[in-house]
Chain A
């Protein structure tokens, strides 16, 4: 699962992939497919400690530091949310923490998923991003 490339490069790949679909339906179907491909999180970690709040669906993300890089794994009981989790993990997992802290994730805009970032969408994507960055922030200060 550990993809190659910087955040920017990985995001560009995603934008390219989504660009193959003309309409929202194709894009959502692809997002759902990406979600289905995300390896499930070990039930052991589906606990309050890893739960992301502010979401109608249940979402968990588990961060981890390895060799100075941040790694994330996650899951959700809703497929669209799981697809979004998968996209974030694909872009951010295995990156230097400082890069995660500084990234703006514009690619979500470019693939037509920007409205999922708004705080009023109850999918918790905004709080998910906050959470991922918070973990990276803590560790970027240490390095």
Chain B
């Protein structure tokens, strides 16, 4: 069901040291200590190939896309559209025209809420989310519901941080016209059982929007196998630049949806009386796009696929298991989120120590973690805590860094416990 597996295909053992070498930022020191970067769920570092691509583009290839007949413009357009093909293949989308460029997962979800939402959600209807959603998969739906006279309801989450499946099934029957669900929880790491949730939603004619921001760096994604209606992700969490993302949408939806923003590139003909629109995906991409970052994002996809997502998933699962075990050996450490299927994230509390205090001390030890509510306030309230300390791993993190985290947590206990 999940994208780990296929370990037998792994040629040799995964070597994070080789991967690390490609990330110049990981050589940094902070406060005179080697940086231990465990804030990957917020944003990942960038490999040299991605950085080089940005420099190459601005040094010699820059021109506006879809506009000029001149050489540079055609070259930029070709590269820009080739990147779309790379992104489509990455998600196993049926065609490039099903892939829209956005500023990130947040913008992708907002686009769906604005252009698709009103076609499906009306007075008295329900948009169903889960209790563990990131604010960016809650607030756009609240805005839609406010405009439509509908309401957002949330699937409850168990003490282990998993969707209570019977509740999901029960809620589906209550005028739900749209399901918006995260693939992987940013605060807990829980991998949601999308395959069966999507199937059950579809049986009732309910379209499904997936927030894939936290899944894309860690596992293989196949939008056709999932059969989701929309899938949104962000480049910057998967080793690409900030400010660019992908929204996959089923082609039939893109045909039905009205344009989102007006401007250049999204039109066919413009008169003061009437404007006709371009075909998808360009209908949804008004204005000069983020060309450089799109090209560098394609480079990040090459990087990920070059290593192989199954290898990445297998390595990260071992690393997460090891780090979990190390942390649980420390007296007073309590994990928040203990789902059977997890990716990347270790959210925890140390006795009564405030997460902010813990994060401040870990920072001084060179360990970058996130503290607070992780943009998931309803979930924190559900657990009755102000927030957690969150360590989130990526493919370049090592077992030694998991040890460093554990040592750091022990130090925090000594100082604050």
**With A28-B415, A57-B354: A77-B386 Cβ-Cβ less than 8 Å:** yes
Nearest Cβ distance between residue A52 and chain B, in whole angstroms?
A: 14
Give the B-binding residues of A (Cβ under 8 A).
Answer: 24-25, 28-29, 32, 56-58, 77-81, 122-123
Q: Are A122 and B372 in contact (CB under 8 A)?
A: yes
Q: Are A79 and B364 in contact (CB under 8 A)?
A: no
Nearest Cβ distance between residue B134 and chain A, in whole angstroms?
A: 17
Q: Are B354 and A77 in contact (CB under 8 A)?
A: yes
Interface string of B342-353 (1 = CB under 8 A from A): 000000000001
A77 to B372, CA, bound (A): 13
Q: Does B303 sit at the interface, judged by CB under 8 A? A: no
Q: Are B364 and A123 in contact (CB under 8 A)?
A: no
A106 to B239, CA, bound (A): 40
Q: Which of B97-105, B182-190, B355-363 contacts A (4 or more CB under 8 A)?
A: B355-363
**Please, could you name 19 A-B residue pairs with CB atoms under 8 Å apart, sorted by A?**
A24-B31, A24-B364, A25-B364, A25-B415, A29-B415, A32-B357, A56-B355, A56-B356, A56-B371, A56-B372, A56-B387, A57-B357, A57-B386, A78-B356, A78-B357, A79-B357, A81-B354, A122-B356, A123-B360
A58 to B356, CA, bound (A): 10
Q: Are A80 and B364 in contact (CB under 8 A)?
A: no
Q: Are A32 and B364 in contact (CB under 8 A)?
A: no
Nearest opposing residue in chain B for A23, CB measure: B364
Q: Does B55 sit at the interface, judged by CB under 8 A? A: no
A32 to B358, CA, bound (A): 12
Nearest Cβ distance between residue B401 and chain A, in whole angstroms?
A: 21
- List residues 84-115 of chain B with CB under 8 A from any CB of chain A: none
* Centre residue among B31, B357, B386 by max chain A CB count within 10 A: B357
Which chain B residues lie closer than 8 Å to A29 at the CB level?
415
Q: Are A80 and B357 in contact (CB under 8 A)?
A: yes
Q: Are B354 and A28 in contact (CB under 8 A)?
A: no
A63 to B356, CA, bound (A): 25
Which chain A residues lie closer than 8 Å to B361 at the CB level?
28, 80
Which chain B residues lie closer than 8 Å to A28 at the CB level?
360-361, 364, 415
Nearest Cβ distance between residue A1 and chain B, in whole angstroms?
A: 23
